[in-house]
C-alpha cells in the first residue's frame, strides 16, 4: 500500500510548515508569557494537536490517493440455460419435464455453486435471467440465446455452458454456426423425443398480405403428416363463418407432404381473416397445428403516382422501379408531351392520382404553369425534382417554400446528410450509414433560402462539409403537400446500394418514406387515433395512441377518450385512455387471436368526435409445427465445442464431468485499487479526535 499525489514531494514540507506555523501563531504568547512552569507542558501538547490537525487537512488538499495491490481469485463461470418453450412439453416425458426437471436443475445449481460461479437463464424467443422453467414461451431462438451469452460474458472466465433443450428452434439461424465463437465446452442435456409422433398438421401457408377487392388470390397450404397412410382428410377455408374453399385429400404415404393451392375470391375491403382447418385424425400428438389463420388486407385500389418528365433521364426509371417495389403503389411515367396528349388539363383524370412527381419541371423548355396551378387547385401533392433543365426562375415564383438565387456556376456536387431536427418521419440507421458513402447529386449552385428549416430532411454535404442548404425538403399548407429534391442523379444511389448490400433497402426507404408522406392527405381532424401496429400477436400487448386538438390545433391535455373493443363473437371491452405528455396512450393488454373492431369518442368544446377501425391479433403456434426433438444437432454442437451431450437422467454426473476437466479452473490475478484518502472514514475520526481533544483541553486548562 502506498500514498500518491499529483503534486511534487516537497509540497509535503509545505503542509508540515503550515501546520507548524498555525500552531505556533496560536500558542506562542502562552509559551513565552506563561505564569509558571506548570503551564508549559499543556501548551506544547495543544500545539502538537493543532499541528497534526492542520497538517493533515493541508495534506488532504493535495488530493492524495491510496494505491493498494491485492490478489483476486475468480471462480470459473458455468452458464446454465434452460429451454422454456412449449415444445418441451409436447412429448412422452412432459410430466417429468414439468414437475421434476426444475427441481433437478435447482439441485445442479446448488451442487456446482461450491466451485463455480453459476449463472442461470431461461430462453425462448429471448433470454431471461429472472425467469423460471414454466415452458410457456411460444418461440425458440437457440442461436439468439448463445449470442446473448457470448455478449454478456465476453472476455470473462467461462468454464462451461450447460443447455437444457430439445434442439428444436423456429427463430434465428442454425446454432451450430453461432457457437463457433466460443472457446468453451458446451454440455447439452437432451430433452424431448426423437421419435416422430403421429401427427397431421399445417406446416405453413404462403400468401400475399395485400390483395385488391374483386381479384382472385392464392393460398399455398403446406400439409405434412406422419403415420396416417391411406387416410382421408378434408381441407376447409372459411371467412366470417362462410366456407370459401373445401377439398378432400388422400394421404398416400406414411411420411406425407403436399402443397395445396387454394384460389380465393377477395371480398370486401378491410382486414379479412381466413381460417384454414384440416381434419382431426385419431391419436395426433396435437390438434392445435390442425388450424391456421391468415389475415389479408383487402384494398379497394392501389395508390396511383404520376411521374411527368421534361426529358428522358435515368432517375425516372430508378425512382419508378423503387416505388413499384412497394405493393401499395402503382406508377404511370409519362413525358410532358404524352401527358398533354393523354391527360392534359382534364381535372377528373388528374384526381385519380394521389401524388405527381415533376422531373425538371417547370423547365427551360416547358414551364408547365397550367399543370402546376391545376395541381394546387385540386390539392394534389407534388414532388419537384430539380435538375440542369429546371427553370429556377419559375420555381422561385411558385411560393413552394424555397428560393434559389443562382450564381455564375451551374451545379454543386452534393451528398446527403440527415437533419437531426427533422420529425415528419423516421428512418433506419442504414440510411444514415449509406448516405455517408453514396455518390453526390448535381444540385443548382446558388444561395438557398428556406421558409421552414425544420422540414429539411437532407442537407447538402459538399465534400466533408455539411451545408445548411436543403437537398430534400418538404413544405405544406392547408391544401397541398410539396416535396423538393434539389438535385439530379439519384439513380446512382440505387446502384451503390445494391453494389454494397445486394439490396435496395436504404435507397428504397428514402423513396418510400417520401412517397408515403406526400401521398397521404393532410390530416385536419381534431381527434386522431391509431393502434401502434396493424397486426399484433397473442403474446403482444395491444396498445393505441391518440391526439386531441382544439380549433386552433393546439394539443388538449385534459381530454377524456373512451374506447370500446369488440371481438368476433360480439363481446365488448371498455377502456379509457391515459394522458402521456401532449398525447394519450392505451394499453389494452393481451387479447386472444382474432379480428377486432374498435370505436372511440371524445368531446371537444361540447361536440362529440367519434372514430372507429379494426386490428387483428394472430396466434403464435410455431412450437406445435415441429415436435420431433433434434438430438443430432445437440450432439454435433457438443462435439464441436469439446463438451458432451447427456440425458436428464445423467444430470447428477455433470459436476464430476466438469471437475475432471483440466481446462476449467479459477483465475488469479493482481488487482490495483486507487482510492482517495479523503474517503477513508478512520481519517475523519482522527481529525475529529485531534480537534475535539484540543478544544476540550483548552477549556480544561483555561484559555490558551
Query: Tell me: the pLDDT tens digits for 195-231?
Result: 778 889 998 888 887 787 777 889 999 999 988 999 9
Give CA–CA dist 588/574, Å, rounded. 9
Strand duo 77-83 + 117-123: pairing: parallel
How far is 72 from 162, CA to CA, in rounded Å?
Answer: 26
Give 89-101 pLDDT, tens digit per residue.
Answer: 887 788 888 899 9
Backbone angles phi, psi at 81, to 5 degrees: -120, 120
CATH 3.30.530.20 fits 303-519, yes or no: no
For residues 69 and 151, the answer to whether their CB atoms sit within 8 Å is no
CB atoms within 10 A of CB 61: 13
Residue 510: left if φ>0, alpha if ψ -120 to 50, beta else—which one? alpha
Least confident among 437-441, 481-485, 666-670 = 666-670
Over residues 9-15, the mean pLDDT reads: 85
Phi, psi for 22 (deg, rounded to 5): -65, -45
What average pLDDT does the segment 525-547 reach?
86
- The partner residues of 598 in beta bridges, in order of sequence, read 565, 613
Q: Is the pLDDT of residue 361 over 50?
A: yes
Q: Mean pLDDT, to the nearest integer, of 140-166?
A: 92
Cβ(527)–Cβ(602) below 8 Å = yes
Q: What are residue 449's DSSP bridge partners?
A: 403
157 vs 68, higher pLDDT: 157
Residue 581: pLDDT over 80: yes
In angstroms, the Cα distances linking 58 to 127, 195, 351 are 54, 80, 84
Cell readout for 221 is 397450404
Higher pLDDT, 623 or 136: 136
Top mean pLDDT of 6-15, 336-345, 623-632, 675-684 is at: 336-345
pLDDT on residue 23: 85
CB 510 within 8 A of CB 435: no
Q: Which residues of 624-653 are buried (b: 16+ CB within 10 A; e: fewer)?
A: bbbbbbbbebbebbbeebebbbbebeebee
Report CA-CA distances (Å) from 304 to 273, 301, 384, 418, 483: 27, 9, 17, 28, 17
The confidence score (pLDDT) of residue 557 equals 85
What is the percent of the chain where pLDDT is above 70? 96
The per-residue pLDDT for range 659-686, each reduced to its tens digit, is 999 888 888 777 788 888 888 888 889 8
Residue with the larger pLDDT of the pair 249 and 269: 249
The arithmetic mean of pLDDT across residues 257-261, rounded, is 92
**Residue located via cell numbers 442523379:** 489
DSSP state of 3: E
Q: How many CA atoms lie within 13 A of 310 on its CB side?
A: 20
Which of 98 and 409 is assigned the larger pLDDT? 98
Q: What is the pLDDT of residue 702?
A: 65
Degrees, nearest 5: CA angle 265-270-271: 85
pLDDT for 260 equals 93
Dihedral angle computed from the Cα positions of residues 21, 24, 27 and 30, in that order, rounded to the nearest 10 degrees: -150
Region 76-194+631-659: CATH code: 3.40.50.410
- In this prediction, residue 30 carries a pLDDT of 65
Q: Is the dihedral of CA 160, 165, 167, 171 positive or negative?
A: negative
Three-class secondary structure of residue 455 per DSSP: helix
Do the domains spanning 199-292 and 303-519 agree at the CATH topology level?
A: no
Q: Which pLDDT band holds residue 421 (cuts at 50, 70, 90)? A: confident
Average pLDDT over all residues of the chain: 87
Phi–psi pair at 302, nearest 5 degrees: -75, 155
Instruction: List the chain domain ranges.
Output: 2-70+675-701, 76-194+631-659, 199-292, 303-519, 527-618
| pLDDT for residue 34 is more than 50 | no
**Is 379's pLDDT higher than 80?**
yes
User: What integer is the mean pLDDT of 316-323?
Assistant: 94
Q: Grade residue 703 by pLDDT with cuts at 50, 70 and 90.
A: low
> According to the model, what pLDDT value does residue 68 have?
82
CA 195, CA 21: separation in Å to the nearest integer? 92
Q: Distances from the Cα of 228 to the Cαs of 208, 281, 469, 540, 693, in angstroms?
A: 31, 8, 70, 36, 96
Task: Give the H or E element holding residue 531.
Answer: strand 527-531
Does residue 459 carry a pLDDT above 70? yes
**Cα angle for residues 592, 596, 598 (degrees, 5° grid):** 130
Contact of 566 with 572, CB cutoff 8 Å = yes
> Taking Cα atoms as reference points, which of 615, 617, 618, 599 lies closest to residue 534?
615
pLDDT surpasses 60 at 687:
yes
Distance CA 377, CA 196 (A): 68
CATH of range 527-618; options 2.60.40.1930, 3.10.20.600, 3.20.20.10, 3.50.50.60: 2.60.40.1930
| Residues in CB range of 167: below 8 A, 6 or more apart | 142, 188, 190, 192, 629, 630, 631, 632, 633, 634
pLDDT attached to residue 693 = 85
Query: Which CATH code of 2.60.40.10, 3.30.450.20, 3.40.190.10, 3.30.1330.40 fits the domain covering 199-292?
Result: 2.60.40.10
In angstroms, the CA 309 to CA 316 distance is: 8
Of 142-156, 405-419, 562-576, 626-640, least confident by mean pLDDT is: 405-419
- Contact (Cβ atoms closer than 8 angstroms) between residue 254 and residue 281: no
- Residues 681-698 have a mean pLDDT of 86
Nearest by Cα to 386 from 460, 325, 329, 321: 460
Q: Is a pLDDT exceeding 50 seen at residue 31?
A: no
Distances (CA, A) of 32 to 28, 48, 661, 704: 6, 17, 79, 12
pLDDT band of residue 39 (cuts 50, 70, 90) is: very low
What does the alpha-carbon distance between residue 268 and residue 214 come to, in Å, rounded to a whole number?
Answer: 8
Residue range 24-43: mean pLDDT, rounded: 61
Mean pLDDT of 347-372: 89
Helix (H) or strand (E) holding 394: helix 392-396
Nearest residue to 586 (alpha-carbon basis) of 614, 556, 561: 561
For 455, the grid coordinates are 422540414
523, pLDDT greater than 70: no
d(CA 544, CA 547) in angstroms, rounded, equals 11
Amino acid at each position: 500500500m502506498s500514498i500518491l499525489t499529483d503534486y511534487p514531494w516537497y509540497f509535503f514540507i509545505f503542509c508540515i510548515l503550515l501546520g507548524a506555523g498555525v500552531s505556533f501563531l496560536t500558542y506562542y504568547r502562552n509559551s513565552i508569557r506563561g505564569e509558571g512552569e506548570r503551564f508549559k507542558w499543556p501548551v506544547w501538547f495543544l500545539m502538537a494537536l493543532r499541528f497534526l490537525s492542520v497538517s493533515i487537512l493541508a495534506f488532504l488538499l493535495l488530493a492524495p490517493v491510496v494505491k493498494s495491490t491485492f490478489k483476486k481469485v475468480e471462480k470459473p463461470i458455468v452458464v446454465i440455460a434452460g429451454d422454456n418453450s412449449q415444445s418441451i412439453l409436447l412429448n412422452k416425458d412432459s410430466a417429468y419435464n414439468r414437475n421434476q426437471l426444475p427441481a433437478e436443475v435447482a439441485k445442479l445449481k446448488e451442487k456446482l455453486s461450491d466451485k463455480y460461479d453459476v449463472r442461470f437463464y431461461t430462453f425462448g424467443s429471448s433470454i431471461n435471467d429472472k425467469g423460471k422453467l414454466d415452458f410457456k414461451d411460444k418461440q425458440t431462438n437457440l442461436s439468439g440465446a448463445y449470442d446473448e451469452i457470448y455478449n454478456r460474458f465476453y472476455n470473462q472466465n467461462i468454464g462451461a455452458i450447460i443447455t437444457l433443450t430439445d434442439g428444436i428452434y423456429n427463430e434465428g439461424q442454425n446454432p451450430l454456426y453461432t457457437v463457433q465463437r466460443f472457446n468453451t465446452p458446451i454440455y447439452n442435456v437432451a430433452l424431448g423425443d426423437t421419435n416422430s409422433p403421429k401427427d397431421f398438421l399445417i406446416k405453413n401457408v404462403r400468401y400475399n398480405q395485400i390483395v385488391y377487392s374483386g381479384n382472385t388470390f392464392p393460398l399455398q397450404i403446406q400439409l405434412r403428416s406422419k403415420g396416417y397412410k391411406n387416410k382421408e382428410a378434408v381441407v376447409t377455408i372459411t371467412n366470417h363463418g362462410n366456407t370459401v374453399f373445401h377439398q378432400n385429400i388422400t394421404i398416400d404415404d406414411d411420411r406425407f407432404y403436399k402443397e395445396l393451392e387454394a384460389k380465393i375470391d377477395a371480398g370486401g375491403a378491410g382486414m379479412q381473416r381466413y381460417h384454414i382447418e384440416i381434419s382431426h385424425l385419431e391419436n395426433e400428438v396435437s390438434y392445435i397445428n390442425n388450424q391456421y389463420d391468415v389475415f389479408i388486407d383487402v384494398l379497394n385500389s392501389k395508390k396511383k403516382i404520376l411521374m411527368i418528365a421534361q426529358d428522358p433521364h435515368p432517375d425516372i426509371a430508378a425512382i419508378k422501379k423503387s416505388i413499384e417495389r412497394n405493393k401499395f403503389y402503382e406508377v404511370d411515367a409519362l413525358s410532358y408531351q404524352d401527358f398533354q396528349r393523354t391527360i392534359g388539363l382534364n381535372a377528373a383524370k388528374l384526381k385519380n392520382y394521389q401524388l405527381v412527381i415533376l422531373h425538371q419541371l417547370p423547365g427551360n423548355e416547358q414551364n408547365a404553369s397550367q399543370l402546376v396551378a391545376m395541381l394546387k387547385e385540386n390539392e394534389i401533392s407534388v414532388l419537384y425534382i430539380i435538375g440542369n433543365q429546371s427553370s429556377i426562375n419559375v420555381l422561385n415564383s411558385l411560393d413552394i417554400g424555397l428560393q434559389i438565387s443562382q450564381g455564375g456556376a451551374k451545379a454543386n456536387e452534393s451528398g446527403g446528410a440527415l437533419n437531426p431536427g427533422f420529425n415528419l418521419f423516421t428512418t433506419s440507421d442504414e440510411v444514415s450509414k449509406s448516405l455517408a458513402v453514396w455518390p453526390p447529386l448535381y444540385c443548382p449552385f446558388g444561395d438557398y433560402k428556406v421558409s421552414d428549416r425544420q422540414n429539411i430532411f437532407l442537407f447538402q454535404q459538399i465534400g466533408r462539409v455539411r451545408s445548411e442548404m436543403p437537398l430534400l425538403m418538404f413544405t405544406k399548407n392547408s391544401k397541398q403537400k410539396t416535396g423538393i429534391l434539389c438535385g439530379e442523379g439519384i439513380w446512382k444511389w440505387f446502384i451503390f446500394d445494391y453494389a454494397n448490400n445486394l439490396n435496395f433497402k436504404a435507397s428504397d426507404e428514402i423513396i418510400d418514406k417520401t412517397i408515403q408522406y406526400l401521398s397521404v392527405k393532410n390530416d385536419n381532424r381534431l381527434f386522431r387515433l391509431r393502434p401502434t401496429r396493424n397486426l399484433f400477436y397473442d403474446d403482444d400487448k395491444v396498445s393505441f395512441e391518440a391526439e386531441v386538438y382544439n380549433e386552433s390545433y393546439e394539443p388538449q391535455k385534459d381530454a377524456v377518450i373512451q374506447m370500446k373493443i369488440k371481438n368476433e363473437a360480439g363481446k365488448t371491452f371498455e377502456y379509457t385512455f391515459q394522458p402521456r405528455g401532449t398525447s394519450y396512450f392505451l394499453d389494452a393488454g393481451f387479447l386472444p387471436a382474432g379480428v377486432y373492431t374498435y370505436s372511440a369518442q371524445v368531446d371537444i368544446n361540447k361536440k362529440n368526435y367519434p372514430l372507429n377501425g379494426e386490428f387483428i391479433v394472430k396466434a403464435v403456434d410455431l412450437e406445435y409445427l415441429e415436435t420431433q426433438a433434434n438430438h443430432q444437432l445437440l450432439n454435433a454442437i457438443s462435439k464441436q465445442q469439446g463438451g458432451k451431450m447427456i440425458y436428464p437422467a445423467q444430470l447428477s454426473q455433470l459436476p464430476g464431468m466438469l471437475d475432471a476437466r483440466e481446462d476449467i479452473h479459477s483465475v488469479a490475478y493482481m488487482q490495483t485499487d486507487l482510492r482517495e484518502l479523503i474517503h477513508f472514514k478512520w481519517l475523519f475520526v482522527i481529525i475529529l479526535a485531534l480537534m475535539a481533544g484540543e478544544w476540550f483541553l483548552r477549556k480544561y486548562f483555561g484559555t490558551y
